[in-house]
């Protein structure tokens, strides 16, 4: 062992050495093992959702691999949020804050014990950025292991997955599906453990981790419990011990160039819009001087769309994996990428891509034959969004990208959905739903349910939606501007909008304006009440007090 381990005490005397030895001897750990690299196996296991149901077995196999490689593994647990399960309480406010809870969970366990490295078992949406943020903060050798997407089922001979169930649930109210059909769909959609099997936030962030250099090359996306996933688990278990010996740390890998690579790949695969704030949060934790939001703007018109995976296109995530996955996309983009950056493999991006093959250029296309040259993630600014707003576009999106109409304002998502049912929302309206940002919810509410209800009511192409809340990783119907900053609770212009105000949106020009005289806005601003509900208690109250604006990653530091 050439690298001095921080976990090994200088002196084999004193309280810390003696009490730790007493605990570890009681666990059956020998004095010889206590000298080995001590590796945290970060496991977000839970029986609440199928996303995490296979992680305990993965952790067991991971610990075996670490021991075989000469390390001493310690399994630790963190929060395990699922967007479909943990989103019911507090208006969905627990979802985004769970990301930052994971970061602090890991810090307490790993930094408190002064372990030497960690492998993080990444599953559902918030575990991946949370683990990457923790790696960036602690800056000890780390590998993120993608634990795979769930196998889908079939319904009446057609492909059926959890996102189909979600979309069809919104069609129940309009009578497009029956409760019996929806029940049957829910019974067959998920055929095993893992994350949602589309290009939503989970698979997008798994891929982002590989592109950043924090996951082993060729390991994302992957079918959960497949031979390929188990090979990746064993490889990571062996590699993390070497990584500790080499003292290769996350901040050696998470450079401005690696974030540029990640943004380019995210744009090329029509990734989830949530990748924008998550990548910014990771950069902030790494103390890396990079503005991820500006990078999405910089590369929007440069990077062509090379993949069209559901729900953004017609291909399945299985097709994308078979075509070569993240490594194949990077191979197609190789001339644009920064290929001299280091990765957890110990090699550079160029070395990792040397023998990469694109197995199907209809699924993962070359830059000379893209699906589209129009950006899939568009950041817009203007008087209604001085800092930013985000629009997601689909692969074959032919919607009109300009809209001008009068505002109809709602303070909650549920009240806006009620407005659909009551007929309050009419063609030509700009539906404003505010108070859903990180401070306002608190935690950040989602308006995806409203988007689906508007679609079911036949209004999605006849209205626009503007909100400081978040959207799912799915493509939205009509013009939907999400994550408007500053949020209403921070006194942003969104807080000043009143029913009947004219709002103009031009996605092509990337501008969104509130057409109200400044004198009128100043009068409204003077009588603006405090929009932050300080009656919140517990974890969400802590988050509400500390959270930074989304363009800073929405972190607590």
CA distance 324 to 361: 10
Confidence band, pLDDT 50/70/90 cuts, at residue 396 = low
Find the DSSP H helices in 1-126: 15-26, 55-68, 95-106, 112-113
In this prediction, residue 290 has a pLDDT band, given cuts at 50, 70 and 90, of very high
* pLDDT above 50 (res 3): yes
The stretch 280-298 carries a mean pLDDT of: 98
Query: Catalytic residue at 460?
Result: no
Q: Encode pLDDT of 7-24 as tens digits.
A: 998 767 788 889 999 999
Q: How confident is the model at residue 476 (pLDDT cuts 50, 70, 90)?
A: low
Q: Tens digit of pLDDT for each residue in 334-388?
A: 999 999 999 999 999 999 999 999 999 999 999 999 999 999 899 999 999 999 9
- What integer is the mean pLDDT of 45-50? 94
Phi, psi at residue 321, to the nearest 5°? -60, -45
Return the number of other C-beta atoms located less than 10 Å from residue 400's C-beta.
10
Please write the tens of the pLDDT for every residue from 136-189: 999 999 999 999 999 999 999 999 999 889 888 877 877 889 999 999 999 999
pLDDT for the residue 399: 65
pLDDT of 439 higher than 90: yes
Q: What percent of the chain has pLDDT over 90?
A: 85
Task: Output 477 or 118, whichever has higher pLDDT.
Answer: 118
Q: Which residues contact 192 (CB under 8 A, 6 or more apart)?
A: 50, 150, 151, 224, 225
Report whether pLDDT(474) > 60. no
Domain covering 36-151+192-353, topology? Rossmann fold (3.40.50)
Structure tokens at 234: 């064993």
Backbone φ, ψ for residue 262 (5° rounding): -65, -45
Distance (Å, whole) CA 536 – CA 542:
9
> What are the start-end ranges of the H helices in 107-224?
112-113, 127-138, 162-169, 179-188, 201-212
Poorest-pLDDT segment among 247-251, 329-333, 456-460, 523-527: 456-460
How does residue 1 score in pLDDT terms, banded at 50, 70 and 90?
Answer: very low
Q: 36-151+192-353 and 377-552 share one CATH topology?
A: no
Q: How far is 147 from 9, CA to CA, in rounded Å?
A: 34
3-class secondary-structure state, position 208: helix
Residue of higher predicted confidence among 311 and 76: 76
Catalytic residue among 7, 98, 209, 472: 472
Average pLDDT of 435-450?
Answer: 91
What CA–CA distance (Å, rounded) separates 557 from 548? Answer: 8
What average pLDDT does this structure show over 256-261? 98
Tell me what the pLDDT averaged over the chain comes to: 94
* Domain ranges across the chain: 36-151+192-353, 159-191, 377-552
The more confident residue out of 170 and 207 is: 207
For residue range 63-78, what is the model confidence (pLDDT) as tens digits?
999 999 999 999 999 9
Which of 66, 42, 41, 45 is closest to 55 using CA atoms?
45
Asked if 303 contacts 371 with a C-beta cutoff of 8 angstroms, the reply is: no
The structure tokens listed for 93 are 């406010």
**Could you count the other beta carbons within 10 Å of the beta carbon of residue 490?**
18
For the domain 377-552, what is the CATH superfamily, name and number?
IlvD/EDD C-terminal domain-like (3.50.30.80)
């Amino acid at each position: 062992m050439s690298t001095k381990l921080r976990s090994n005490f200088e002196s084999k005397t004193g309280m810390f050495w003696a009490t730790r030895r007493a605990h570890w001897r009681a666990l059956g750990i020998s004095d010889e093992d206590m000298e080995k690299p001590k590796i945290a196996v970060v496991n977000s296991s839970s029986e609440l959702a199928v996303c995490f149901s296979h992680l305990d077995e993965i952790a067991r196999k991971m610990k075996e691999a670490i021991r075989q490689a000469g390390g001493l593994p310690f399994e630790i647990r963190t929060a395990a949020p699922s967007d479909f399960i943990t989103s019911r309480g507090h208006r969905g406010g627990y979802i985004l804050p769970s990301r930052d809870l994971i970061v602090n969970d890991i810090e307490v366990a790993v930094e408190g014990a002064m372990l030497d490295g960690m492998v993080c078992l990444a599953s559902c949406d918030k575990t991946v950025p949370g683990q990457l943020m923790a790696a960036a903060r602690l800056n000890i050798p780390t590998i993120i292991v993608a634990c795979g997407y769930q196998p889908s089922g079939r319904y009446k001979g057609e492909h059926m997955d959890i996102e189909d169930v979600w979309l069809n649930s919104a069609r129940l109210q309009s009578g497009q599906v029956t409760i019996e059909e929806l029940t049957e769909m829910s019974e067959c959609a998920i055929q095993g453990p893992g994350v949602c099997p589309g290009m939503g936030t989970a698979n997008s962030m798994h891929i982002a981790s590989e592109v950043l250099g924090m996951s082993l090359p060729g390991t994302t996306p992957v079918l959960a419990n497949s031979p390929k996933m188990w090979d990746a688990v064993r490889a990571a278990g062996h590699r993390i011990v070497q990584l500790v010996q080499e003292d290769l740390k996350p901040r050696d890998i998470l450079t401005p160039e690696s974030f540029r690579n990640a943004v380019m790949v995210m744009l090329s695969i029509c990734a989830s819009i949530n990748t924008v704030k998550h990548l910014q949060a990771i950069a902030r934790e790494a103390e890396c001087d990079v503005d991820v939001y500006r990078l999405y703007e910089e590369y929007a018109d440069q990077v062509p769309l090379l993949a069209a995976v559901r729900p953004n296109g017609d291909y399945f995530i299985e097709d994308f994996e078979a075509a070569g996955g993240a490594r194949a996309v990077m191979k197609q983009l190789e001339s644009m990428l920064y290929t001299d950056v280091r990765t957890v493999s110990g090699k550079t991006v160029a070395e990792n891509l040397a023998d990469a093959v694109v197995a199907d250029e209809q699924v993962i296309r070359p830059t000379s034959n893209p699906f589209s040259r129009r950006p899939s993630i568009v950041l817009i600014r203007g008087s209604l969004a001085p800092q930013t707003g985000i629009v997601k576009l689909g692969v074959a999106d032919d919607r009109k990208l300009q809209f001008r109409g009068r505002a109809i304002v709602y303070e909650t998502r549920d009240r806006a959905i009620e407005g659909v049912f009551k007929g309050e929302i009419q063609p030509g309206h700009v539906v404003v739903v505010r108070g859903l940002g990180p401070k306002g919810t608190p935690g950040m509410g989602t308006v995806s349910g409203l988007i689906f209800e508007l679609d079911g009511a036949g209004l999605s192409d006849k209205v626009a939606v503007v909100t400081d809340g978040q959207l799912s990783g799915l493509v939205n119907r009509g013009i939907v501007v999400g994550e408007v900053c500053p949020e209403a609770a921070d006194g942003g212009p969104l807080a000043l909008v009143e029913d009947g105000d004219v709002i103009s949106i031009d996605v092509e020009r990337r501008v969104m304006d509130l057409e109200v005289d400044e004198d009128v806005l100043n009068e409204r601003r003077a009588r603006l009440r405090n929009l932050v509900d300080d009656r919140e208690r517990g974890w969400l109250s802590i988050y509400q007090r500390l959270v930074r604006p989304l363009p800073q990653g929405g972190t607590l530091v």
